Amino acid sequence: MTGLRWGILATGGIAHAFTSDLRTAGLTVQAVGSRRKEAADAFAASFEIPHAYGSYEQLVADPDVDIVYVATPHTLHAQDAILALEHGKHVLVEKAFTANAREAAAVRAAATSRGLLAMEAMWTRYLPHMRRIHELIDAGTLGEVRAMFADHTQSLPTDPAHRLNALELGGGALLDLGVYPISFACDVLGVPTTVTAQARLGETGADTEVATVFTHPGGAVSSTLSSSRAAGPNTAHIVGTEARIDIDRVWYMPTSFRVTATDGTVIEEFASTVDGRGMQFQALAAEQIIADGGRDSGILPLDETVAIMAVLDEIRRQIGVRYDADGPADGPADEPFEA
């Protein structure tokens, strides 16, 4: 145990889930900050956190906090992460990392200039079944990986004022749900060289369904589907010339998978046994990176996070979804994607 002291910035549902898993792993949660003191107090009471602050500024100024988990809406991630970095704190930033690639690059610059860790909280990459899948791919068990496909589809609130549907908060299925299978495609096959996307938009102009087709370095292809209005299978599949991996529902959480050879022989079956939701693995990884003197994740390097944000920008350009953070039309967010 490296003994880092965590600060939780914001008190929404994802912050509750993450903090619960920190407690499960025996990690130290030192403080929580909210824009409402009563919300911070209630959160602190729930998890027996020593310090509760009524502003983010107070949280990041706490000298007993070493690393801050940023759990605000997407459009606030960049400013909140940079605030913490400016106060000398490492940051784990909830995905999607920022609203766009320009903001992601700004966070990267702030972290690099200060010698601090800034890491995207794409917790799925750190789960045991995902690490085993990488071992199998690296060992050549699948042969040449030719394709993968995955969905992240849920039936979520349709209230126009809900964060998921509010463009001013970075709403839409893409940044909340689609980022999972898109990041997975990049993880397995590399950042795409070409991007094609189609979508359906809801009443507020936020995307409710997004389908993508990518080509990747070496010619492999992938497809993803995200939806906030309909629950699908939430499975994922990686297809190689010698075998395939079928990841069961829910593929982006601790689950099971099978490796099946082209002749139908089951080569391996894997089942996860994880306490809690599994978000603690990314926190443990962040603590180990810092303890080892590193400032970047080998599992999800910050450069890859910025590149994935550029892919998400291109998808939004193609489907016609803009955020205030993108700036005026015909600005950088409207430039065609370049791998």
Residue spans of the domains in the chain: they are 5-122, 128-273
**Across 307-329, average pLDDT:** 94
Tokens of 157: 């609130």
Was domain 5-122 assigned CATH 3.40.50.720?
A: yes
Q: What is the DSSP string of 214-257?
A: EE-TTS-EEEEEEESBS-----EEEEESSEEEEEPSSTTSS-EE
Find out whether 18 and 32 touch, Cβ atoms under 8 Å: no
How far is the C-alpha of 137 from the C-alpha of 207, rounded, in Å?
A: 33
pLDDT in tens, 202-243: 999 999 999 999 999 999 999 999 999 999 999 999 999 999
Is 165 a residue whose pLDDT tops 70? yes
**Across 189-208, average pLDDT:** 98
- What local confidence, expressed as pLDDT, does residue 49 receive? 98
Is 336 a residue whose pLDDT tops 90? no
The CATH-assigned architecture of domain 128-273 is 2-Layer Sandwich (3.30)
For the chain, give the number of residues: 339
Token pair 């193609």 in the structure block, residue: 318
Is 172 a residue whose pLDDT tops 80? yes
Strand-pair partners of 120: 93
Alpha-helical runs (H) found in the chain: 13-24, 37-47, 56-61, 74-86, 101-114, 128-138, 173, 179-189, 280-291, 302-319
Is 331 a residue whose pLDDT tops 50? no
- What local confidence, expressed as pLDDT, does residue 328 receive? 78
Is 55 a residue whose pLDDT tops 80? yes
Note whether 5-122 and 128-273 share their fold: no
- What pTM did the predictor assign? 0.95
**Across 171-180, average pLDDT:** 97
How far is the C-alpha of 109 from the C-alpha of 115, rounded, in Å?
A: 10
